[in-house]
């Protein structure tokens, strides 16, 4: 949830991260009952002008949205971070690195063709699965905003606390 809140803040300031992945999420474990997650490594980030930002190929391959790799345009929206967040959700769910057993060329081809996504375990919570799949939708316009993601995660956490 903290990562989603942090990304909501960054996008509210028109900053696109471009390299969102678990390795760039810093967790303070001072209070083990309430760890705090912060977003790090803003080295590839850019400020959005109007509705788009100049992208180019930047980021880390398994977390990169297809619009970054297709070469059709070097202008992208903040929804590339939402795609990456979907992959982060999968990492948190499985504890694995996405596409660890694949070669770069296969990963690029699969992402560009929108035919490659990490395999979701059958035991995954349906709401988590739905949000994750919405985040990595092939059409950026169909991906939720971080405000929507934050709201959904709050509701999911509240439902867990009630149970």
Domains (ranges, CATH) in the chain? 2-154 (1.10.510.10)
Q: What is the C-alpha to C-alpha distance for residues 91 and 86, in angstroms, rounded to an integer?
A: 9
Catalytic residue among 2, 19, 31, 139: 19
What would the DSSP string read from start to end of 24-80?
Answer: GEEEE-SSTTS-EEEE---TT-EE-BTTBEE--S-S-GGG--HHHHS-S-SEE-THH
User: Given pLDDT bands bounded at 50, 70 and 90, which one contains residue 20?
Assistant: very high
Residues in the chain: 163
* CA dihedral (54, 107, 140, 47) positive or negative: negative
| pLDDT recorded at residue 126 | 96
pLDDT of residue 47: 82
pLDDT > 90? residue 35:
no
Please give the model's pTM, rounded to 2 decimal places: 0.90
pLDDT of residue 7: 95
CA separation for the pair 111, 67 (Å, rounded) = 9
Query: Higher confidence at residue 132 or residue 115?
Result: 132
Q: Which residue has the higher pLDDT, 111 or 162?
A: 111
Determine whether 19 is an active site residue.
yes
Q: Which of 116, 106, 107, 56 is nearest to 86 (CA)?
A: 116
Residues in CB range of 40: below 8 A, 6 or more apart:
24, 25, 26
pLDDT band at 106 (very low <50, low <70, confident <90, very high): very high
Which of the four pLDDT bands, split at 50, 70 and 90, describes residue 58? low
């Amino acid at each position: 949830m903290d990562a989603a809140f942090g990304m909501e803040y960054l996008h509210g300031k028109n900053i696109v991260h471009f390299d969102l992945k678990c390795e760039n999420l810093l967790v303070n474990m001072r209070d083990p009952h309430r760890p705090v997650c912060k977003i790090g490594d803003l080295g590839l980030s850019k400020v959005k002008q109007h509705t788009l930002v100049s992208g180019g190929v930047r980021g880390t391959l398994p977390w990169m949205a297809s619009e970054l790799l297709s070469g059709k345009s070097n202008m992208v929206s903040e929804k590339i971070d939402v795609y990456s967040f979907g992959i982060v959700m999968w990492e948190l769910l499985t504890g694995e690195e996405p596409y660890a057993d694949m070669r770069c060329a296969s990963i690029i081809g699969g992402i560009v063709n929108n035919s490659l996504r990490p395999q979701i375990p059958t035991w995954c919570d349906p709401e988590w699965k739905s949000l994750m799949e919405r985040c990595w939708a092939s059409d950026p316009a169909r991906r939720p905003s971080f405000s929507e993601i934050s709201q959904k995660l709050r509701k999911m956490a509240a439902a867990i606390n009630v149970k």
